[in-house]
A and B are shown apart, each in its own frame.
Chain A
Amino acid sequence: MSQQTIINAQGLDLTFQTNDGPVHALKDVNLEINKGDFVSFIGPSGCGKTTFLRCMAGLETPTAGTLTVNGMTPEEARKARAYGYVFQAAGLYPWRTIGGNIRLPLEIMGFSKDDQAARVERVLELVDLAGFEKKFPWQLSGGMQQRASIARALAFDADILLMDEPFGALDEIVRDHLNEQLLQLWARTEKTIGFVTHSIPEAVYLSTKIVVMSPRPGRITDVIESPLPKERPLDIRDSAEFIEIAHRVRDGLRAGHDDV
């Protein structure tokens, strides 16, 4: 596979003006994400990982530096519907069925009725929710709801998937299961994934590239290319390699804290 750069950040800076004075959320952030990468952003609260993801999505505007997504500005990429975004909470509309929620972006983007139905069926299968199309969100568990929200982000076939701590609110067992499913999904769809988390095992297990960030001001302190193979059973987390990478991430996080 050719190393095509999908997301490119150079000298990115973002300062929020708040009532308590300016907050330096991102400082001199440089990063390249290639096609098919699974990139995790890890760091303590306030390190700017979510802000960085929101910049890529065109939901925040950097105050300095350049950022391109698919060769366009994030704003243009957003308008071209270049990515699917998964939020911390599933955020399904309670008045729509699971199928209706997945149809939401398709309706907005003007897909034909037949196409909508076919896509809903396909992505429900992809997240292992076939048969739940006519259920309402409250009839599903938290993990199933989050899977439905991933299906919603997949439905319009964007090449990029941006995920902001999607499993943060779920318990460990469900999270393990969803991590495994997410890797399978990534392998099947060959999407480029940006994934915000503050769980070290989650970041190491999922990623091809781990971006370690630190707060005040939010910046990148380490970028780790994972040597783990693409096929990852859950018990890979007991291997020496896995533990070594986790160790390096932990060191990076600690270093980021020390020099504040």
Chain B
Amino acid sequence: MKSLLPVLTVVGAILLLWVLAVVPMNMHLTADQAQRDGLVVSPETPAARQEYSGLGLTLRNPKLIAATFVQERPRLPSPHQVAVEMWNTIVLKNITSKRSLVYHGWVTLSATLLGFGIGTSLGILLAVGIVYNRAMDMSVMPWAIASQTIPILALAPMIIVMLGSIGIQGLFPKAIISAYLSFFPVVVGMVKGLRSPDGMQLDLLRTYHASPSQGFWKLRLPASVPYLFASLKIGISASLVGAIVAELPTGARAGFGARMLVGDQYGQPLVTWAALFAAAITAAALVGLFSLLERLTLRRMGMVQA
């Protein structure tokens, strides 16, 4: 709760900046509309107005400022418009409706969670392989790093089209993209975690003549738990990004990505912005959930001072 005030301060600053930006961003649109409605606008032709910046036009037409906040198809929606759109599509719409953000959110979230599960499992397996197998130690990491340098926007359509051509559609291809993004932080974190026991701790197990599997279950695995949680928090947000990106290039009909695309293509910025915010809130909630799990787990393990 100590962080509440700083967080609110930052949110307030962002909102203020946003509100201030709405006026010049929407001023040209608003002036055109006002002229059609029979108001006097200066200068008088759209071509002449193009010569002015948003700010310049605002200074010449201060009476139009209020109208910039309530445009139907604004270039930059105002905060309250986005809030109203979100209220309408999250709370007021039946969740089975194709226009409900809860419905679209679940479509994206299910792919996110499946992909995150696959990515995390794969990441842990690879990390164990890297730590225990010299050949994997030498070979896997460069490929894992290379995999993350390919722009996912370029790769996602290929994967989805390829899987589609062998009859795999829907949830699974999206989950694959999510897994592709989320396995990497898990590999990196788990390799570091599994290697975190120092020479003394390993020597101690040697004096007990412990088997390699005892060393894994009793020392390396528990020692890696804090590292795992740090990776999971990065991995879950990467998963969500992956699922959204996977919805963009393929004309998906449902999901946050599909809503963003629809809003863009049909000139409904409010739809895009509402989906954008819903996705951000979902990501924050997922990361928050894992932070909570981390705190509970580490406290239960005795690794943080209660």
Residues of A bordering B, CB below 8 Å: 57-59, 78-79, 81, 83-85, 87-89, 91, 93-97, 104-105, 107-109, 136-138
Q: Check A83/B207 contact, CB under 8 A, given A93-B219, A95-B302.
A: yes
Q: B205 and A91: CB pair below 8 A?
A: no
Alpha-carbon gap, A70 to B36, bound state (A): 103
Q: Which residues of A contact B203 (CB under 8 A)?
A: 59, 85, 87
Given contacts A59-B203, A104-B218, A108-B218, contact A94 B302 (CB under 8 A): yes
How far, in whole Å, are A167 and B302 apart by their CA atoms in the complex? Answer: 25
Residues of B within 8 A of A108 (CB): 205, 208-210, 214, 218
B190 at the interface (CB under 8 A from A): no
Known: A94-B303, A95-B225, A95-B301. A87 touches B218 (CB 8 A): no
Instruction: Determine the distance from Cα of A178 to Cα of B208 in the docked complex, in whole angstroms.
Output: 24
The smallest beta-carbon distance between B197 and chain A, in angstroms, is: 9
- What is the bound-complex CA distance between A138 and B299, given in angstroms? 12
Instruction: State whether A81 touches B302 (Cβ < 8 A).
Output: no
Cα of A91 to Cα of B205 in the assembled complex, Å: 11
What are 19 inter-chain pairs, A to B, with CB distance below 8 A?
A: A59-B206, A78-B206, A78-B207, A83-B207, A84-B207, A87-B200, A88-B200, A89-B200, A93-B201, A94-B302, A95-B222, A95-B225, A104-B218, A108-B208, A108-B209, A108-B214, A137-B302, A138-B302, A138-B305
Tell me what chain B mostly uses at the interface: helix, strand, loop, or mixed: helix
Contact A97 B204 (CB under 8 A): no
Bound-complex Cα distance A109 to B210 (A):
8
B271-305 to A contact mask, C-beta < 8 Å, 1/0? 00000000000000000000000000000011101
Sorting the interface of chain B by its residue count into under 10, 10 to 19, 20 to 34 or 35 or more gives: 20 to 34
Q: Give the chain B neighbours of A107 by CB distance below 8 A.
A: 218
The smallest beta-carbon distance between B291 and chain A, in angstroms, is 19
Report the separation of the CA atoms of residues A85 and B210 in the bound assembly, to the nearest whole angstrom.
14
- Bound-state Cα–Cα, A159 to B112, Å: 57
Q: Which residue of chain A lies nearest to B209 when distances are taken between CB atoms in the complex?
A: A79
Residues of A within 8 A of B219 (CB): 93
Kindly list chain A residues whose C-beta atoms are within 8 Å of the C-beta of B223: 93, 95
Inter-subunit contact A78/B209 (CB<8 Å): yes
> In the assembled complex, how far is the CB of residue A145 from the closest CB belonging to chain B, in whole angstroms?
13
